[in-house]
């Protein structure tokens, strides 16, 4: 239940309309509160504000806030479109989920709604001195909120949706997704990839990406039914109707009506969607960075600096991955009846560097930086990662030798690739 509520909060936080809708609801409630106070309070009010004065103030505020709110929506939409064009199509979600942008737009829309509701309410109902004074206090509060929002927006708009800001956010999300659970098997046992004996294969009931898996519930299901469950998928991977997404052991436990109920319960523990989500999907986040670098290599942008920044960010992510992989907490088994495939170094390296190696092969600066980044991966001391980094280095060198025109440039990339071939695990360093 807690996981479901957290997922719901994350989904709502990413929706651009939620905060403006809540702010509009608050404005409506404030107008109703003022009406209630005006009907129930008969005492004296030190400041008696006339209805005409309030209507005039609300009219000025409504017309100005409508213009500002429309401009803000246009700015957010343009920033999201620009990020999708020059970075990755998924970067638009990051722009739309920006907390400051949502707060600013919520403040402007709330001010407009409150002003309109105030005018309509004053013309439709008798508020009395207390009610009008309450409406005026609400207007003061809204003005203060708008001023704070405007000041924040002036500072934020200078970098909102800009290339560097979106790249920093992509890197931050990638780092945040690399937890001990996501880098490992989320507390389940490690599955070696071999189909288990005496097991029934369970396919997906639709074609979709796995967003998250409720392993706690899956453990409870397995315990209640006396079975063990082998997941053949993990968050970020595609499930479909022709391939196993899980295995249930022993096979006889999946027979009959009880078996059908078991399979249905297993499927419910997998949250799926038509697109991938970044929270637990390390590979998606590496792909987002790689795609941003790939866009920067296009002839329209020709931005090698962004490619180098992405490679530096990826080096930091792999460094964190190796650090987490060495921790005891990542190997701790909390769900002993469930198994899951681990993250593979080959997949991570391919996701991070294939596009850059392919499309940056004709650019000597990119080729050299890529080789230096792969040398960092070798020196991290993870044997499997080092092997994959060396393989990627050779592949990138082969592509560069075919794409580069100058022998001097080819020799430069070859020397950089030699650093990868000769790299060894670094000794104990103080950092």
Do residues 84 and 166 make contact, with C-beta atoms less than 8 angstroms apart? no
What CA–CA distance (Å, rounded) separates 387 from 322? 14
Structure tokens at 203: 């396919």
In sign, the C-alpha dihedral spanning 23, 24, 25, 29 is: positive
| pLDDT of amino acid 61 | 86
Same domain membership, residue 32 and residue 154 = yes
Number of domains present in the structure of the chain = 3
Among 161, 194, 220, the domain-final residue is: 161
Residue whose structure tokens are 């790939």:
294
Maximum average pLDDT range among 53-62, 81-90, 151-160: 53-62
Same structural domain for residues 88 and 193? Answer: no
At 222-238, the pLDDT tens digits run 999 999 999 999 999 99
Of 107, 127, 161, the domain-final residue: 161
Q: Does a structural domain hold residue 153?
A: yes
Q: If pLDDT is split at 50, 70 and 90, which confidence band does 1 have?
A: very low
Summarize pLDDT for 365-414 with one digit per residue, the tens. 999 999 999 999 999 989 999 999 999 999 999 999 999 999 999 999 99
Q: Indicate whether 426 pLDDT > 70.
A: no
Considering the domain architecture, whether residues 68 and 136 belong to the same structural domain is answered as: yes
CATH code at position 192: 3.90.1170.30
- pLDDT computed for residue 369 by the predictor: 95
**Residue 427 belongs to a domain:** no
Output the CA angle 273-276-280, nearest 5 degrees: 110
| Residue 195 belongs to a domain | yes
Same-domain status, 294 and 396: yes
Query: What's the domain range around 39?
Result: 2-161
Any domain includes 170: no
Bridge partners for 244 per DSSP: 203
Last residue of a domain, one of 243, 273, 303: 273
Is 6 within the bounds of a domain?
A: yes
Three-class secondary structure assignment of 157-205 = HCCCCCHHHHHHHHHHHHHHHCCHHHHCCCCEEECCCCCCCCCEEEECC
Q: pTM for the full model?
A: 0.80
177 part of a folded domain = no
Do 127 and 64 share a structural domain? yes
Q: What count of other Cβ atoms lies within 10 Å of the Cβ of residue 398?
A: 13
Same domain? 40 vs 131? yes
Beta-strand relationship, 228-231 and 335-340: parallel
Q: Which residues contact 257 (CB under 8 A, 6 or more apart)?
A: none
Average pLDDT estimate for 73-86:
80
pLDDT for residue 12: 60
Across the range 239-260, mean pLDDT stands at 92
pLDDT tens-digit map of 184-200: 999 999 999 899 999 99
CB-based contacts of 13: which residues, under 8 Å, 6+ apart? 97, 99
Which range (11-20, 72-81, 177-186, 354-363) has the least confidence?
A: 11-20
Do 242 and 359 lie in one domain? The reply is no
| Claim to verify: residue 231 and residue 302 sit in the same structural domain | no
Same domain, 153 and 8: yes
- Residue 180 placed within a domain: no
Distance between CA 323 and CA 328 in Å, rounded?
Answer: 11
- What does the alpha-carbon distance between residue 386 and residue 396 come to, in Å, rounded to a whole number? 15
Mark whether 71 and 207 lie in a shared domain.
Answer: no
- How is residue 112 annotated by DSSP? H
Rg of the chain in Å (alpha carbons)? 28
Among candidate residues 399, 370, 396, the one with its CA nearest the CA of residue 308: 370
Q: Do 37 and 115 belong together in one domain?
A: yes
> What one-character-per-residue DSSP string does 199-234 give?
-EEEE-SSSEEEEEE-HHHHHHHHHHHT-EEEES--
* Domain-embedded: residue 409: yes
Looking at the fold, whether 54 and 151 belong to one and the same domain comes out as yes
SS3 state of residue 337: strand
């Amino acid at each position: 239940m807690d996981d479901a509520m957290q997922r719901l909060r994350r989904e709502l936080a990413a929706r651009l309309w939620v905060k403006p809708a809540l702010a509009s609801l608050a404005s409506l409630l404030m107008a109703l509160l003022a009406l209630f106070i005006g009907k129930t309070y008969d005492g004296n009010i030190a400041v008696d504000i006339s209805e005409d004065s309030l209507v005039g103030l609300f009219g000025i505020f409504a017309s100005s806030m409508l213009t500002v709110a429309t401009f803000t929506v246009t700015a957010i939409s343009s920033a999201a479109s620009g990020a999708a064009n020059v970075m990755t199509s998924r970067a638009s979600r990051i722009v739309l989920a920006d907390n400051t942008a949502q707060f600013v737009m919520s403040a402007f829309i709330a001010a407009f709604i409150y002003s309109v509701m105030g005018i309509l309410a004053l013309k439709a109902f008798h508020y009395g001195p207390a009610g009008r004074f309450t409406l005026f206090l609400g207007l003061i509060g809204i003005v203060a909120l708008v001023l704070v929002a405007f000041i924040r927006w002036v500072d934020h708009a200078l970098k909102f949706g800009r290339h560097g800001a979106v790249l920093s956010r992509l890197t931050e999300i990638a780092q945040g997704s690399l937890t001990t659970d996501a880098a490992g098997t989320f507390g389940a046992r490690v599955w070696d990839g071999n189909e288990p004996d005496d097991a029934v294969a369970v396919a997906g009931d639709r074609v979709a990406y796995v967003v998250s898996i409720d392993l706690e519930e899956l453990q409870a299901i397995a315990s209640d039914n006396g079975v063990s469950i082998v997941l053949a998928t993990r968050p970020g991977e595609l499930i479909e109707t022709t391939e196993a997404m899980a295995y249930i052991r022993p096979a006889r436990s999946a027979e009959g009506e009880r078996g059908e109920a078991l399979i249905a319960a297993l499927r419910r523990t997998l949250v799926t969607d038509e697109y991938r989500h970044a929270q637990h999907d390390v590979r998606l986040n590496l792909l987002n960075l790689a795609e941003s670098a790939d866009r920067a290599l296009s002839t329209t942008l020709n931005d090698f600096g962004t490619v180098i920044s992405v490679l530096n960010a990826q080096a930091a992510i792999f460094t964190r991955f190796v650090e987490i992989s060495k921790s005891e907490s990542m190997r701790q088994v909390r769900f002993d009846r469930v198994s899951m495939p681990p993250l593979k170094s080959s997949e991570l390296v391919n996701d991070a560097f294939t596009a850059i190696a392919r499309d940056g092969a004709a650019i000597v600066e990119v080729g050299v930086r890529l080789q230096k980044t792969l040398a960092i991966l070798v020196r991290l001391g993870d044997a499997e990662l080092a092997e994959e980094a060396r393989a990627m280095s050779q592949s990138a060198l082969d592509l560069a030798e075919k794409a580069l025109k100058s022998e001097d440039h080819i020799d430069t990339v070859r020397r950089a690739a030699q650093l990868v071939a000769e790299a060894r695990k670094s000794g104990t360093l103080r950092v």
